């Protein structure tokens, strides 16, 4: 498995793809991340065409086990961020 692309590498690739400098590309990436964060933390969802859908899901209160002691403890309800991958991306990876 290849190493994940770093933010610096992503900004450089984005700048090359856009035909602009790294500062502009970095600003665009930061803006996109801020918009996604704001929307998902507010309970909404964001669809990135060709990539997938990022959304927040609430998990109910539940019983969990402490792996060190085996003790059952009650875990409060919480929220988790999920992502559903787009079919187009799955197909391009698999085919």
**Cα distance between residue 14 and residue 2, in whole Å:** 19
- Give residue-wise pLDDT tens across range 35-89: 999 999 999 999 999 999 999 999 999 999 999 999 999 999 999 999 999 999 9
Domain range summary for the chain, segments of one domain joined by +: 1-42, 45-95
Band of residue 11 on the pLDDT scale cut at 50, 70, 90: very high
**Cα distance between residue 78 and residue 59, in whole Å:** 5
CATH code of the region 45-95: 4.10.520.10
């Amino acid at each position: 498995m290849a190493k994940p692309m770093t933010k610096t590498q992503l900004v450089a690739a984005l700048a090359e793809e856009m035909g602009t400098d790294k500062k502009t590309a970095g600003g665009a990436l930061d803006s996109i991340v801020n918009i996604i964060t704001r929307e998902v933390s507010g309970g909404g969802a964001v669809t990135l065409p060709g990539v997938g859908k990022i959304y927040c899901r609430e998990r109910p209160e539940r019983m969990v086990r402490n792996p060190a002691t085996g003790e059952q403890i009650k875990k409060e309800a919480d929220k988790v961020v999920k992502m559903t991958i787009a079919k187009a991306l799955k197909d391009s990876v698999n085919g």
